[in-house]
Amino acid sequence: MNSTLKTHGPKLLLGITILFTYALLIMGNVVTSTGSGLECPDWPLCHGTVNPPKEIGIWFEWGHRLLGGITGTLIIFSAIYMIKKTSGAVSFLLKLVVGLVCVVVVLGGIVVLTEAPLLDSYKKVMLVSSHIIIAILIFTSMILSFRATFDGGENREKVYSLWLFGIVFFQVILGIFVRYSGASLSCPDWPLCQGSVLPPDYSSAVLLQYVHRLFAYGIFCLTLWRVGMELISGQGRAAPHVLTFCLVATQATVGVLMIWTKLFLPFVILHGAVGFLVLGWVTFRAGPYLVPPVAEVEA
């Protein structure tokens, strides 16, 4: 059995940091969903001060920045702490995380100063999307580092876990482009798309939304199939797969409700929150096959 960290200290530190990172992703989704991305038109201050006007949109954006500052500090502190205590893949991954934090901070400033949240050009869509994608890379990298503080996984889970992680990660990236390119309602109905199984309009927006749906169907079927296989085997190992399927089913249900309600705000925010949770869970499950467990270190 692979040895793991001797104390719970590093696990606790990484775990808290991951929770803050998850909260930051959700808060970012709230900011973009409410159109608050330019409520603080300057950067790094907000309306030229650290105590901006008490308006909800402004404080969505300013709160996002404050939470980002706390989260960024936690990420850098926990990464440096673990880098000193470990070596190999985990150390490399956390060094990469520190670099990505610096990039995402600078990119966040550029997003504001170039008014990218207006999303009125291809370049602005790419800029906002890149900002979120880097944040997701940080999130998944922290989870992989956290998972490496536990023992390794079973070989029988390797292929499925890696495939599921890859597909879900791609689906999340695809969903980001669907969202910020304005393609969310390119297929305004469900389960059909523009009243047909195959959409009559193959514009880039429709195609993007349609492919996103196809991947969602694939993930739903794959996780349901795995639950069935585990239950049939009767080996008592179905619980984590049932959890995976429940998360995926919840995400799919909220996605359908988004379409039916024409992007009702609570469903839009919940869709993002559950999506990030699904990604975090499948990353944790695939962790042992991507980053080997770390050797024992002292706290």
Q: Are 66 and 72 in contact (CB under 8 A)?
A: no
Is residue 296 included in any domain, yes or no?
no
- Look up the domain containing 60 and give its range: 9-290
Looking at residue 197, what is its pLDDT? 93
| φ, ψ (nearest 5 deg) of residue 142 | -65, -40
Is residue 299 included in any domain, yes or no?
no
Q: How far apart are CA 249 and CA 76, in angstroms?
A: 34
Is residue 208 included in any domain, yes or no?
yes
Tell me the pTM. Answer: 0.92
- Total of domains in the chain: 1
Tens-of-pLDDT digits for all 299 residues of the chain?
Answer: 344 455 577 788 899 999 999 999 999 999 999 999 999 999 999 999 999 999 999 999 999 999 999 999 999 999 998 888 787 888 899 999 999 999 999 999 999 999 888 888 889 889 999 999 999 999 999 999 999 888 776 777 899 999 999 999 999 999 999 999 999 999 999 999 999 999 888 899 999 999 999 999 999 999 999 999 999 988 878 999 999 999 999 999 999 999 999 999 999 999 999 999 999 999 999 999 999 887 555 45
Q: How far is CA 36 from CA 55, 63, 185, 259, in A?
A: 11, 11, 21, 22
DSSP state string for the chain = -----SSSHHHHHHHHHHHHHHHHHHHHHHHHHTT-TTSS-SSSSBTTBSS----HHHHHHHHHHHHHHHHHHHHHHHHHHHHHH--HHHHHHHHHHHHHHHHHHHHHHHHHHTTGGG--SHHHHHHHHHHHHHHHHHHHHHHHHHHTTS----GGGHHHHHHHHHHHHHHHHHHHHHHHTT-TTSS-SSSSBTTBSS-S---HHHHHHHHHHHHHHHHHHHHHHHHHHHHHHTSS--HHHHHHHHHHHHHHHHHHHHHHTTS-HHHHHHHHHHHHHHHHHHHHHHHHHHSPPPPP---
Is residue 295 included in any domain, yes or no?
no
Q: Which amino acid is at 116?
A: A
Is residue 87 included in any domain, yes or no?
yes
Radius of gyration of the chain (CA): 20
Looking at the DSSP bridge assignments, the partners of residue 46 are: 49
Dihedral sign for Cα atoms in the order 10, 13, 16, 19? negative
Is residue 228 included in any domain, yes or no?
yes
Q: Is 49 exposed, middle or buried (0-12, 13-18, 19+ CB in 10 A)?
A: exposed
> Measured at the alpha carbon of residue 48, what is the angle toward residues 42 and 53, in degrees to the nearest 5?
100
Is residue 297 included in any domain, yes or no?
no
Whose CA is closest to 90, among 252, 299, 296, 291?
A: 291
Is residue 230 included in any domain, yes or no?
yes
Q: Are 149 and 294 in contact (CB under 8 A)?
A: yes
